[in-house]
Structure 1
Amino acid sequence: MAYYSLVLFICATTIFTTAYATSATVQEMHRNYFGGGIYDFWYWDLAWLVWDRQCSSYNITRAVDTRITGGDLAAPNMFPYQVGLLLLRAPKVYQCGGTLISVSYVLTAAHCLYKSTRGKVFLGSIDFANPLTSAAVYNVSESDFIVYERYVLHGGRDDIGLVHLPSPATLSAAVQTIPLAPRFMTQSFLEREIVTTSGWGLTSDSASERMMFNLLLYYVDAPVLPLRECACYYLPGLVRGPNHICASGAGGRSSCDGDSGGPLTYYYRNKSYLIGLTAFGSAGGCEIGYPAVYTRITSYLDWIVARTGIKVD
């Protein structure tokens, strides 16, 4: 594990290869992550070679995008903590998921909130953005959005944010909060365990499906992958141990476009816990078998508690 951690640390600065960014751009990314200073970049090629050799046994081709295919239709009240978000980032409106973690706060991905100016929050329905079936609908604005302070749009790191509800949610069979993962739910604890993700994203990679707006909530169960394996599906540095958790996409069962910010949960001792938020997946499609990558909740517990005042088990 020490060797793997060192490789990940070296690769963390390599957000994109030179095919995706100039040296100046990469240096700026490095400064955003690690602060100011002058750096030598000779180790980039070395990091790439080490990573490529480490991953060669998996025979993977790679492509990346912010991205439930092969899943099952959720029953009413099955995921009462699931939140639907419509967010305006002019001139477009974006679809995202979220999780109700207290009567006053929704947890979602930072890339959903980034530069968004206002939106709507829908609670307590398996229909997306339907005010007629939702238990509650909130109008929110930029002042209600809290984006993690170190988040940058590209690179997949620190992709977490909060939406403060203008008034507390009323809990019912359809609307419930979910506890955050306790600190002992580490990678080693969760590895190979079955976890669940849910959302209103695309249910297929087909061209016709991509033209349609999915209105029903789907979910999928999958095992947690070792990070060493998951990292090999993506460019060096995109998947990071402290920031991410990965779930298998084998059999085309995975998160997809429109699921961003939605919950990844683990059922433990008769209770579901929020362990992750949908962050990104493969640009090659959601059904090609790549793992989906989620923001790891346990790495941000202190930040969440400081801004919401909620308690963690």
Structure 2
Amino acid sequence: MGYLKLCLCFVILFRQTQARNAKPDDPDERDEDQITIGWQVGYEKWQRQCEKYELPATQQEAAISTRIANGELAQKDMFPYQAGLILQLGQGKYRQCGGSLITLQFVLTAAHCLIDSTRAKIYLGSNQYANATDAQNVFQVERQNFNVYPGYLGFGGYNDLALLRLPRPATPTSSIQTIPLARPFMQQSLLEGQLVTTLGWGALGDNLNVTKEQELEEDLLHYVTVRVLEQQLCLCYFLPGLVSSKRHICSDGRGGRGGCQGDSGGPLVYRWHNVSYLIGLTTFGSAKGCELGAPTVYTRVTAYLDWIVSKTNMES
């Protein structure tokens, strides 16, 4: 059972326990009844809407945070806005994530990357992951310069974005460039079915028996081109409430192509009029694996433009 499914079950059980323990005339009990009824109605509506897709039960499940599966090797300077992140946790542990340089002093990434992190090391201008020799700029960012979106719950993929403020501006070169944020009109109606690109470092598939040669290849930046998936179909792949039509965008996972474990926070990019725009941040995928055909889910940048602009002093 996935982590989010456990969280969801805990919330439901907690609410049911509260309802049982409440006094008969307690207004909290009436509120709890309304919550329970509302959740049940929402679940039944989700079931009706998803019947037409006839998805196997194994695909309708919880999700986990997510590297690039079945992608291609990136060439030098191909994605100069890509940032490699190492997050330092407690007890000598570390977490791998990606990010996007949106101004010379701010990197946009997933909020769940920063949970329980005390500091971050950020590498810019390199196709090799966390390679100080190959990178053109390396920064250490302390916790006080983490800015997690205030609506993030602390787990899962809802409102899953955060900003890292670099201690000084990055030096622009052919290997270090910022990426423009999605324009407000880049909504689902425009993007659905369009080719987009997602990228990152890490696992190239679900094979647990990785050879030395594959380990070396995983340290190199990979990308994959996929299509934006119909939103309702994406909602039906996961438990109700995990995917939001307004706040998420999904890529079609057919052919086992998309994000995989370790790609969290990395960019989803749409090319429009020969300019690349950041339209999403990798947030989660299927708990069963990266190569089973399930979608990859991204935080939709257009839903958070006002917040990002206000926190970075970017021109809107």
Taking structure 2 as the reference length, what is the TM-score of the superposition? 0.87
Structure 2 SS opposite 1:95: strand
Match for residue 294 of structure 2 among 278, 287, 290 = 290
Aligned AA (1:269):
H
Partner of 1:21: 10
Partner of 1:188: 189
Partner of 1:7: none
Q: Give per-residue Cα distances to partners, 1:249-279, cap 9 Å, x unaligned.
A: 1101110011000000000001000000000
Structure 1 SS opposite 2:255: helix
Within 5 Å, which residues of 2 pair with 1:219-234? 219-234=223-238
Given that residues 82 and 101 in structure 2 are in contact (C-alpha distance below 8 angstroms), is that contact kept between their aligned partners in structure 1? yes
Partner of 2:38: 43
For 1:22 and 1:101, how far apart are their aligned partners in 2? Answer: 36
Partner of 1:10: none
Partner of 1:83: 83
Partner of 1:32: none
For 2:265 and 2:211, how far apart are their aligned partners in 1? Answer: 19
1:258 aligned onto 2:262? yes
Partner of 2:74: 74
Partner of 2:106: 105
Partner of 2:22: none
For structure 1, the residue ranges without an aligned partner over 5 or more in a row are: 1-14, 29-36
Match for residue 50 of structure 2 among 40, 55, 70 = 55
Pair 165,282 (structure 1): closer, same or farther in 2 beyond 3 Å: same
Q: Give per-residue Cα distances to partners, 1:267-305, cap 9 Å, x unaligned.
A: 000100000000000010000000100000001010001
For structure 2, the residue ranges without an aligned partner over 5 or more in a row are: 18-27
Q: Extract structure 1 runs of 4+ deviating beyond 6 A.
A: none
Number of positions where the alignment pairs a residue of Structure 1 with one of Structure 2: 290
Aligned AA (1:54):
Q
- What is the alpha-carbon root mean square deviation over aligned residues? 2.0
Q: Percent identity among equivalent residues? A: 47
For 2:259 and 2:152, how far apart are their aligned partners in 1? Answer: 22
Given that residues 137 and 170 in structure 2 are in contact (C-alpha distance below 8 angstroms), is that contact kept between their aligned partners in structure 1? yes
Given that residues 198 and 263 in structure 1 are in contact (C-alpha distance below 8 angstroms), is that contact kept between their aligned partners in structure 2? yes
Structure 2 SS opposite 1:46: helix
Q: Give per-residue Cα distances to partners, 1:100-145, cap 9 Å, x unaligned.
A: 0000000000000123111200000000000000011001110111
Aligned AA (2:50):
C
Partner of 1:93: 94
Taking structure 1 as the reference length, what is the TM-score of the superposition? 0.88
Partner of 1:272: 276
Given that residues 16 and 236 in structure 1 are in contact (C-alpha distance below 8 angstroms), is that contact kept between their aligned partners in structure 2? no
Bigger-Rg structure (1/2): 2
Pair 273,43 (structure 1): closer, same or farther in 2 beyond 3 Å: same
Which has the larger displacement, 68-77 or 57-66? 57-66
For 1:130 and 1:236, how far apart are their aligned partners in 2? Answer: 40
For 1:104 and 1:303, how far apart are their aligned partners in 2? Answer: 16
For 1:105 and 1:69, how far apart are their aligned partners in 2? Answer: 27
